[in-house]
Structure 1
Amino acid sequence: MEIYYDSIRFLNKEIYFMASEKGLTYVGVDKKQIQHATLDPKQTMKYKEEIVAYLNGELNEFSLATDVNGTALQLEVFEALKTIPYGETRTYTEIAAQIKRPKAVRAVGAAIGKNPVLIVIPCHRVIGKNGKLTGYRDGLELKEALLALEKTV
């Protein structure tokens, strides 16, 4: 299956996104992720348009399909993340409770850290129980900027 990529600049960072024929497979700053993908702005245009609209504050809900893999727990967590409304946050404890695994807070945190499609699957909306920003695969600066964009910080 062919994977295509493109990128955009945000916060002086290059954000790469990749897609298969089924949907987005990756969004993030790790350039190594795109090494086996083909640069094709035409194939990725609809993804770029929505991500840019979101980053410009013009879009608050994505219609983009995703094509992600993971363990059963990871996929369950990713689905829970998609239910967090724009401009709101949830704690890791709340996500664990939502998926009916209240004692699995650490496992939920680990699953969130494996989210391959940042921004679109909004793991940036998950914060610590004390209200503080905690871990983000591509750095707390980006997490803070995304939350500020949504006016939740």
Structure 2
Amino acid sequence: MKLSVIGCGYLGAVHAAAMASLGHEVVGIDVDPGKIGKLSAGEAPFFEPGLPEILADALASGRLSFTTDIAAAADAEVHFIAVGTPQRKDGTGADLTYVDSSVHNLLPHLRPGALVVGKSTVPVGTAGRLAALVAPTGAHLAWNPEFLREGFAVKDTVEPD
């Protein structure tokens, strides 16, 4: 299956590499060219046991690629939103700027029947609001936030107990 992962920080990079190691064709997309350059070269931009190995294997297999171009998501069947949701500067809640931007930028590339899956942790009501934006494209939206255990993210994703 062809997947896109939008956001290649800790959550997204691990998810992209893990899904490719499980046999899916995955494109990881991020706005940070430095991060994309490192990941494309097989360098994990953070420490996570097992990530360098599955990253290298997935890249060598051709099932994993990274880019800054959101248009690369166009032929994916499932799109994962894995961007950060930092605290707002005023401290009153989550800053959804990156989540909203990811969905808005993905909209022109969605095809009917595609699935957008939110992995970012968001406040109640966010998925409903974004589902209304996605619906006119004929795609569907679901939200399943991911909570990775640092140091065990690869093991938990690729080799669940």
Higher relative contact order (CA 8 A, sep 6+): 2
For the superposition of Structure 1 and Structure 2, which TM-score range results when normalised by the shorter chain? under 0.3
TM-score, normalization: structure 2? 0.24
